[in-house]
Amino acid sequence: MMNSINKISQEILAKLPLFRLKDLIKAVRACKTAAEERAVIQKESANIRTAFKNENPDTRHTNVAKLLYVHMLGYPAHFGQMECLKLVASPKYADKRLGYLGIMLLIDEKTEVLTLVTNSLKNDLNHSNMFIVGLALCTMGNISSSEMARDLCSEVEKLMGSSNTYIRKKAALCALRVILRVPELHENFISRSKSLLNDRSHGVLITGITLVTEMCQQNPENVVIFRKAVPLLVRHLKNLASAGFSPEHDVTGVTDPFLQVKILRLLRILAKNDREASESMNDILAQVATNTESTKNVGNSILYETVLTIMDIQSEAGLRVLAVNILGKFLSNRDNNIRYVALETLNKTVGIETQAVQRHRNIILDCLRDGDISIRRRALELSFALINEGNVRVLTRELLAFLEVADSEFKQGMTTKISLAAERFAPNQRWHIDTMLRMLKLAGSFIREEVLAGFIRLVAQTSDLHQYTVQKLFAALKQDISQEGLVLASVWVIGEYGDVLVDSGNFEEEEGVVIEVTDYSVVGLMESILLGPYANQVTREYVMTALMKLSSRLSEGNAQNKIKELLLQHTVSMEVEIQQRAVEYTNLFSYDSIRPAVLERMPIPEARTIIESSPSNNSNARRTSTGGVGPSDQDLLLDLMGVGTSGGNVESVDMMSQSPVTTSSPAPPKTSNVDLLADLFGGGDSSSPAPSSPARTTTISTSNHNSLMDLLGGGETIPQQPTSPLVNSTNYGLDSLAGLGQSLPTSPAMGSPAPASAATPSAQGYEAYTKNGLTVRLLPSRDRANPAIINIQVLFSNNGSQGVISDLQFQAAVPKSQRLQMNAASNTTVRPNTTEKQIMRINNPQQASYKNIYIMYTTVKLRLRISYELNGEKKDDIAQYGPFPEGAF
pLDDT tens digits for range 251-264: 888 888 999 999 99
Q: Measured between alpha carbons, how far is 29 from 31 in angstroms, rounded to an integer?
A: 5
Mean pLDDT of the 831-860 span? 65
DSSP state of 772: T
The pLDDT value given to residue 667: 39
pLDDT tens digits for range 674-694: 343 344 333 434 333 333 333
The pLDDT value given to residue 60: 87
The pLDDT value given to residue 643: 33
Residue 101 has pLDDT above 90, yes or no: yes
DSSP state of 321: H
Q: Tell me, rounded to whole angstroms, the distance of Cα 809 from its chain centroid.
A: 31
Q: Measured between alpha carbons, how far is 789 from 719 in angstroms, rounded to an integer?
A: 12
Q: Measured between alpha carbons, how far is 116 from 148 in angstroms, rounded to an integer?
A: 10
Residue 732 has pLDDT above 50, yes or no: no
Specify whether the CB–CB gap between 473 and 490 falls below 8 A: yes
**779 has which bridge partners?**
793
pLDDT tens digits for range 293-329: 888 888 899 999 999 999 988 888 889 999 999 999 9
pTM value is: 0.59
DSSP count for the chain of H helices, then E strands: 40, 12
Question: How many other C-beta atoms are found inside a 10 Å radius of the C-beta of residue 759?
Answer: 18
Domain boundaries along the sequence of the chain:
673-881
Specify whether the CB–CB gap between 367 and 375 falls below 8 A: yes
Residues whose CB is less than 8 angstroms from the CB of residue 533 and which lie 6 or more positions away in sequence, other chains included: none
Of residues 639 and 882, which shows the higher confidence score?
A: 882
The pLDDT value given to residue 528: 92
**254 has which bridge partners?**
251
Proportion of the chain above pLDDT 90, given as a percent: 33
pLDDT band at 577 (very low <50, low <70, confident <90, very high): very high
Specify whether the CB–CB gap between 208 and 197 falls below 8 A: yes
Nearest Cα to Cα of residue 416 among 466, 389, 454: 454
CATH superfamily of the 673-881 domain: Gamma-adaptin ear (GAE) domain (2.60.40.1230)
Q: Measured between alpha carbons, how far is 725 from 211 in angstroms, rounded to an integer?
A: 57
The pLDDT value given to residue 668: 39
Question: How many other C-beta atoms are found inside a 10 Å radius of the C-beta of residue 76?
Answer: 11
Nearest Cα to Cα of residue 445 among 536, 371, 358, 517: 536
Residue 233 has pLDDT above 50, yes or no: yes
pLDDT band at 742 (very low <50, low <70, confident <90, very high): very low
Helical (H) or strand (E) element with 837:
strand 834-843
Pairing of strands 250-251, 254-255: antiparallel
Residue 846 has pLDDT above 80, yes or no: no
Phi-psi region of 260 (alpha: psi -120 to 50; beta: other; left: phi over 0): alpha
Nearest Cα to Cα of residue 598 among 545, 556, 560, 527: 545
Mean pLDDT of the 759-786 span? 78
Residue 815 has pLDDT above 90, yes or no: no
pLDDT band at 818 (very low <50, low <70, confident <90, very high): confident
For the sheet with 774-782, list strands across it. 766-771, 774-782, 789-798, 834-843, 819-822
**767 has which bridge partners?**
777
Mean pLDDT of the 274-279 span? 89
Mean pLDDT of the 869-876 span? 86
pLDDT band at 659 (very low <50, low <70, confident <90, very high): very low
Q: Tell me, rounded to whole angstroms, the distance of Cα 526 from its chain centroid.
A: 38
**Alpha carbon distance, N-terminus to C-terminus of the chain:** 107
pLDDT tens digits for range 236-247: 999 888 876 777
- Buried/exposed code over 414-447 (b: 16+ C-beta within 10 A; e: otherwise): bbbbbbbbbbebbeeeeebbbbbbbbbbbbbbbb
Specify whether the CB–CB gap between 613 and 578 falls below 8 A: no
Q: Measured between alpha carbons, how far is 245 from 579 in angstroms, rounded to an integer?
A: 85
The pLDDT value given to residue 756: 37
The amino acid sitting at 67 is L
SS3 of 140-174 = HHHHCCHHHHHHHHHHHHHHHCCCCHHHHHHHHHH
Phi-psi region of 863 (alpha: psi -120 to 50; beta: other; left: phi over 0): beta
Mean pLDDT of the 847-858 span? 43
Q: Measured between alpha carbons, how far is 167 from 164 in angstroms, rounded to an integer?
A: 5
Mean pLDDT of the 622-637 span? 36
Nearest Cα to Cα of residue 687 among 608, 741, 614, 799: 608
Q: Where are the alpha helices (DSSP H) in 591-744?
A: 595-598, 618-622, 633-641, 673-680, 702-711, 734-737
Q: Measured between alpha carbons, how far is 501 from 510 in angstroms, rounded to an integer?
A: 17
pLDDT tens digits for range 13-55: 444 455 688 989 999 999 999 999 999 999 989 988 888 888 7
pLDDT band at 652 (very low <50, low <70, confident <90, very high): very low
Question: How many other C-beta atoms are found inside a 10 Å radius of the C-beta of residue 804?
Answer: 16
Pairing of strands 862-870, 805-813: antiparallel
Q: Cα dist. 343→333, 363, 378 in Å? A: 12, 11, 6
Specify whether the CB–CB gap between 741 and 850 falls below 8 A: no
Looking at every residue in the chain, the average pLDDT score rounds to: 78
Q: Cα dist. 859→407, 751, 843, 853 in Å? A: 53, 21, 12, 10
pLDDT band at 400 (very low <50, low <70, confident <90, very high): very high
The pLDDT value given to residue 747: 33
